[in-house]
Chains A and B, each alone.
Chain A
């Protein structure tokens, strides 16, 4: 039996987040983007609303929501601002989830309550200057010596990892295996302020300009052996599993961002006149809007199905990849149409579609590029 109704709670959640995004984020999104400012104030407000730790058990301060509710929340924020959606999606999926899924009871009690309340943020250090899609090629090393891990290396493009709320990062490091041996990869917790650990905020981005992106440097960083997250040598499967779930959030950003750009374009097309009538009455524009609406609807349905599969504890990984790939590429086509519909004004930052156009590109690159998604999907097909 098919049923597309959201629950009362999901409807209320969508409404409350839409109100919040319209009233609290929309008035400042342009200014923050222009000045490349990560807003502590807005992040704390999002924390108070309950946007961090959405899928974490309430006993650690989370909200205990399902995947669909989480994606509805990300979608609604991305409809207004991809940057704040990035803060939320990265924090939930990458900052918080690995600690929640693989942390010891002690680690969970120590870190999760502050992360779920938004008092602190957490980074997930995976990508390196020379290891992105090829994550197995990580060069950051951790050596166990006298009850401590000593970490050396560097990470890049790490969201939420270099601001005054950052409590620390989960870093993926090579902990064994040399030469011809298969590399042993593990995840280790490094708290902010640990000597030798530097986080530097990255600027001059095309995309997500008011989200916090960091370069991380580890120079003989010493942390206790008990900072190992999960089992030694299981870092790679942990990372893959984290990204499988994270893809749902990126897909939700694609759907929400496409929706926001579409609404702006539709509104403009009804008002802007050429040749004596609103441009939406010209078939050339009307057909674009129709195509945009169809593609967004299709992407949303694919995303919600992937969420449904996950919430039913059925295999969802293939659908999560499909949703991430499709929604991010749908948003690419939608923002392209939206700028075209705005004409010259679409090229100006004071109109909303330019920012959607810029913020879209990350979605085809981050948390597994579109090319990687096609590899994942084709492997599910037995290729």
Chain B
């Protein structure tokens, strides 16, 4: 581990530790100061903890773990993310590479891309329910769509952005279009494609929360969040949020370390 990395971890620990302490104090004070009864539009709700203490968070966590609600939710939601992500990424890369490479295809695809860029995939939710019904298919396809749009644009522009000098040099050396695509276009475009995959992975986690409101069923992280809002149970809400944040962070870390491994050739700053 380099000194820079060690310093970064140290900084993260200090800053997170500080926040944790401040929160703990605020929650303890809040237990006496904050109202336990809130007005929710049409009625009062009692026994609300606006700022849950560590003790109630721990109790809630114990409950969610012992009942297997949280582990099962993580498994189910992560599985959907994986399926949707793989499907969407594969489609997006294939289409993006094709439109980026073939001028004639781009002529057709360009207006579509504009349209897609400005259409939030989440807005397709009601349509997908009608097309694919309640159930796994519409959830996974919604994630796949939001991933595919981002990755397709990324791959398209990555291929377009391959510097002409590399293509010229390869042609001058007698390389066939196939060889140029495999050994020049793909590796040159790879960093940008990967960057779009990373963005898409984050987006997939956003999408899952919404997608799991279709045919809302336990176990799933999206529904866990929705339920915690309906009770409302703030400790459960915070744990749900924290879990999703941790999973997004984890998947991003995974993506980053993979990225570093496969682009050792790139110049790095810092």
| Pair from one complex | no
Chain B contacts to A: CB under 8 angstroms: none
Q: A residues touching B (Cβ–Cβ < 8 Å)?
A: none
